[in-house]
C-alpha cells in the first residue's frame, strides 16, 4: 500500500468516525430521544428504506405500535406506542386527537419531502398529489374541483356501465370454462379501462384482451416502487430521475409518453366537441371538459394543467380502485355469512323493484345500507395506501400525544395503523364486521372521523369520488349477477406495499346467476347483456 493510499484511507476513516460520533450525540441530545422504535432508526433513514423496500411496511408499522402497546398494565392509555420512531426526526402517530391537528383543513402542516420522489423533477411542474405548497395546491385544486364532484361524476356513469358490460362478458366466459383467476388482475383491468373512459373517453382495452396493454401496468408498478423507496431519500430524486429517464422505456417515461400521446390525439379529434358544455350533469370525459376549459381561458387552465390532471387520474385511478375493489370482494368471499347477508339485501331490494336492470345504478346502490357498510369495512381493513401520510411540523413546533415536537420534525398517520386502533374501531378491530358501521350514528361518526382510506383534510384524495363511484356501482352488480368463491378459503392474502398495498394471490372462481330483465323475467347474464 502506497503512502498516499494509506493517508486517504486514514482520512476517510476519521470522517466516518466523526460522522458516527455526531449521530450519537444528536440522538442523545434530541428532545424526543426516549420515543421508542427500532434501534437503527435513531441514527439513519436506512432502517426505514430497508423496511419500505421489503414490501410489507403496513404490517411492520402496525406491529411497531402493537409492540409499544397503547395501554399500561392497568389497561389505561399510556401514550406509549402512540408515537413510534421510524427514522431520525420522523415519527409514526396512532392517535385520533393527532389526526385532527395534523390533517385538519386549516392545518399548517405541509407534506413531507417524501412526496417529491413521486413528482416531476422539473421545478416548474406541479400536480395535486405531490405539490408541497399549500397555497398553490389550493389554487390548482379549485381549477378542476368541479370535475371531481360526485354530481359531475354520476353524469359519467355511462362510461362505467360500458366497462361493466365488458367485464361481465369476461366473467361469464370464466364461469363457463370453470377457470380460476386472479381477482386483483381483473379488478385492475376494469379500473384502468374505467379511468380511461372517464378521463379520455376511450377504454385502454385491458378488459378486451385480459392482459396488460403496452406495458402500462408494469410501468406504473415500477414508478410506484421508485417513488416509495427514493422518497425516503428524496434529495436524490432530481439526479436519479434523470438517470431513470435515460433508460429505454422506463416506467416513468412510458407513462408520460402514453399520456402525451392520448392528449395529443384527443386534442386533434375533439374539434367537433368544442361546444360541449362543461356544466355539471352534461356528461363528457375529463379531457373533453378540460379542453373546453382551456379553450375558454388558456391562462387559467394551461396545457400543462391538462397533462398533469390526466396523468394523475390514470396513474392513481387504477391502482387505488383496484386494490379497494379486490378488498371488498375478498372480504365478502372470506366471510360467507356477510356475503349471504349482502346477497339477501340486494335480492330484497330487487324484489321490491328498487334496482334497475341489467345494471344497478350508483344512486340505487347508495340506498343499500349493508352494502355501504361492507364497502366501508373492506376499505378500513385494507386501505389502498400503506405508508404514513407524512407531514412536517410547522414553525414553533406542536404538541401531539402529550409530547412536544420541534419544528421540522416529520410526523404521519398510516391508515393501516389508525384503522386497527381498538379504542376507535372496537375490541374486534382485527375482524371484518360491517355491522359496526350500522350500530349507532354516534359510533359511526366517531369511526368516520378516523377513517383515512382517502387521506384527510385539505389533502384528501381528489379522486375519492371516482373510486367510490366505481366501487359503489360495480360491487352490487357483481353480487347480483355472479357468485364468487375463493379457491382456498384458508389461504392468507399476500400483498406488496409500494405505497399502494396490492394483493397478489386472491385466486377465485365464479359462476353466473340469474338476473331480472326489465320485463321482470329471469334471464341469464349473457342474455341480459345482449
Domain ranges of the chain: 137-383+453-529
What per-residue string of b and e applies to 376-385 under the rule 16 or more CB within 10 Å gives b? bbbbbbbbbb
Give the pLDDT confidence of 147-193 residue by residue, as tens digits: 999 999 999 999 999 999 999 999 999 999 999 999 999 999 999 99
- Give the residue-averaged pLDDT of 250-269: 75
Of 140-144, 221-225, 471-475, 512-516, minimum mean pLDDT range: 512-516
With a pLDDT cut of 70, the percent of the chain lying above it is 85
Q: Which residues are bridge partners to 482 per DSSP?
A: 512
The listed range with the strongest mean pLDDT (62-71, 80-89, 146-155, 388-397) is: 388-397
C-alpha span between 220 and 323 (Å, rounded): 14
Helix (H, G, I), strand (E, B) or coil at 451: coil
What's the pTM value of the predicted model, to 2 decimals?
0.89
What is the spatial distance between Cα 460 and Cα 413, in angstroms, rounded to a whole number?
A: 13
pLDDT on residue 31: 65
pLDDT of residue 314: 86
CB burial of residue 502 (10 Å; 0-12, 13-18, 19+):
buried
| Helices first, then strands: H and E counts in the chain | 23, 14
Q: Which of 51-65, 163-177, 233-247 has the least mean pLDDT? A: 233-247
Is residue 495 annotated as involved in ligand binding? Answer: no
Q: 226 near 252, Cβ under 8 Å? A: yes
DSSP state of 92: E
**Confidence label for 29 from pLDDT (cuts 50, 70 and 90):** low
Instruction: For residue 340, give every residue at least 6 positions away whose Cβ sits within 8 Å of its Cβ, in sequence order, or none.
Output: none
Distance CA 157, CA 166 (A): 15
Q: How far apart are CA 370 and CA 379, in angstroms?
A: 14
The pLDDT score that the predictor gives to residue 71 is 47
Q: What is the mean pLDDT of residues 184-211?
A: 92
CATH code linked to domain 137-383+453-529: 1.10.630.10
For the stretch 4-32, what's the b/e string if a residue is b when 16 or more beta carbons lie within 10 angstroms of its beta carbon? eeeeeeeeeeeeeeeeeeeeeeeeeebee
Nine-digit cell string for 116: 417529491
Residue with cell 356501482: 473
Distances (CA, A) of 272 to 147, 158, 267, 292, 297: 21, 21, 10, 11, 19
pLDDT band at 345; cut points 50, 70, 90:
very high
Question: How is residue 485 written as a grid cell?
Answer: 368463491
Residues 351 and 357: beta-carbon distance below 8 Å:
no
Q: If we measure between CA atoms, which residue out of 282, 387, 369 comes closest to residue 49?
A: 387
CA–CA separation, 322 vs 329, rounded Å?
A: 11
2: region left, alpha or beta (phi > 0 left; psi from -120 to 50 alpha)? beta
> What radius of gyration, in Å, describes the C-alpha atoms of the chain?
25
pLDDT tens, position by position, 294-319: 888 888 888 888 988 998 898 888 89
Q: Which three cell numbers stand for residue 65?
A: 405500535
CA–CA separation, 322 and 470 (whole Å): 10
DSSP letters, 474-529, are HHHHHHHHEEEEES-TTPPPPEEEESEEEE---EEEEEE-EEE-TTS-EEEHHHHH
pLDDT exceeds 60 at position 442: yes
End-to-end CA separation in angstroms for the chain: 82
- Of residues 16 and 176, the one with the higher pLDDT is 176
Separation in Å, CA 141 to CA 210, 280, 330, 373? 35, 17, 34, 30
Question: Mind listing the pLDDT tens digit for each residue in 371-409?
Answer: 999 999 999 999 999 999 999 999 999 999 989 999 999
Cis check: omega of the bond before 358, within 30 degrees of 0:
yes
How far is Cα 391 from Cα 132, in angstroms, rounded to an integer? 10
Bridge-partner residues for 368, per DSSP? none
Amino acid at each position: 500500500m502506497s503512502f498516499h493510499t494509506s493517508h486517504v484511507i486514514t482520512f476517510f476513516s476519521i470522517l466516518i468516525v466523526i460522522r458516527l460520533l455526531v449521530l450519537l450525540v444528536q440522538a442523545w441530545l434530541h428532545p424526543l430521544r426516549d420515543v421508542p422504535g427500532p434501534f437503527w432508526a435513531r441514527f439513519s433513514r436506512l432502517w426505514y428504506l430497508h423496511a419500505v423496500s421489503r414490501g410489507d411496511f403496513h404490517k411492520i408499522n402496525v406491529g411497531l405500535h402493537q409492540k409499544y402497546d397503547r395501554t399500561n398494565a392497568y389497561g389505561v392509555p399510556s401514550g406509549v406506542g402512540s408515537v413510534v420512531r421510524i427514522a431520525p426526526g420522523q415519527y409514526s402517530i396512532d392517535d385520533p386527537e393527532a389526526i385532527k391537528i395534523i390533517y385538519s383543513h386549516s392545518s399548517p402542516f405541509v407534506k413531507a419531502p417524501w412526496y417529491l420522489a413521486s413528482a416531476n423533477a422539473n421545478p416548474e411542474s406541479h400536480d395535486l398529489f405531490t405539490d408541497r405548497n399549500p397555497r398553490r395546491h389550493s389554487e390548482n385544486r379549485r381549477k378542476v374541483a368541479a370535475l371531481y364532484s360526485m354530481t359531475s361524476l354520476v353524469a359519467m356513469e355511462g362510461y362505467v356501465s360500458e366497462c361493466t358490460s365488458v367485464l361481465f362478458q369476461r366473467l361469464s366466459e370464466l364461469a363457463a370454462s370453470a377457470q380460476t383467476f386472479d381477482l386483483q388482475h381483473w379488478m385492475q383491468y376494469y379500473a384502468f379501462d374505467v379511468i380511461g373512459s372517464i378521463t379520455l373517453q376511450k377504454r385502454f382495452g385491458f378488459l378486451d384482451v385480459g392482459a396488460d396493454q403496452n406495458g402500462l401496468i408494469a410501468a406504473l408498478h415500477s414508478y410506484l416502487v421508485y417513488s416509495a423507496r427514493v422518497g425516503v431519500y428524496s434529495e436524490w430524486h432530481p439526479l436519479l430521475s434523470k438517470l431513470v429517464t435515460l433508460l429505454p422505456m422506463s416506467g416513468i417515461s412510458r407513462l408520460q409518453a402514453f399520456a402525451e400521446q392520448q392528449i395529443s390525439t384527443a386534442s386533434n379529434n375533439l374539434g367537433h366537441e368544442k361546444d360541449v358544455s362543461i356544466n355539471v350533469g352534461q356528461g363528457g370525459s375529463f379531457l373533453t371538459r378540460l379542453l373546453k376549459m382551456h379553450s375558454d381561458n388558456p391562462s387559467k387552465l394551461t396545457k400543462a394543467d391538462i397533462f398533469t390532471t390526466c396523468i394523475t387520474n390514470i396513474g392513481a385511478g387504477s391502482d387505488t380502485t383496484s386494490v379497494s375493489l379486490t378488498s371488498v370482494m375478498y372480504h365478502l368471499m372470506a366471510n360467507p355469512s356477510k356475503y349471504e347477508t349482502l346477497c339477501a339485501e340486494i335480492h330484497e331490494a330487487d324484489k321490491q323493484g328498487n334496482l334497475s336492470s341489467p345494471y344497478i345504478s350508483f344512486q340505487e346502490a347508495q340506498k343499500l345500507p349493508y352494502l355501504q357498510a361492507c364497502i366501508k369495512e373492506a376499505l378500513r381493513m385494507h386501505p389502498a395506501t400503506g405508508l404514513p401520510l407524512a407531514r412536517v411540523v410547522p414553525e414553533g413546533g406542536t404538541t401531539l400525544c402529550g409530547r412536544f415536537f420541534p419544528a421540522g420534525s416529520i410526523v404521519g398517520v398510516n391508515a393501516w395503523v389508525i384503522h386497527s386502533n381498538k379504542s376507535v374501531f372496537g375490541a374486534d378491530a382485527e375482524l371484518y364486521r360491517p355491522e359496526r358501521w350500522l350500530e349507532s350514528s354516534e359510533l359511526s361518526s366517531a369511526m368516520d372521523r378516523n377513517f383515512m382510506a382517502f387521506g384527510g383534510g385539505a389533502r384528501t384524495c381528489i379522486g375519492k369520488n371516482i373510486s367510490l363511484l366505481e366501487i359503489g356501482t360495480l360491487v352490487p352488480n357483481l353480487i347480483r349477477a355472479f357468485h364468487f368463491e375463493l379457491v382456498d378459503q384458508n389461504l392468507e392474502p399476500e400483498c406488496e406495499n409500494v405505497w399502494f398495498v396490492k394483493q397478489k394471490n386472491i385466486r377465485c372462481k365464479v359462476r353466473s346467476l340469474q338476473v331480472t330483465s326489465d320485463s321482470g323475467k329471469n334471464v341469464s347474464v349473457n342474455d341480459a347483456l345482449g
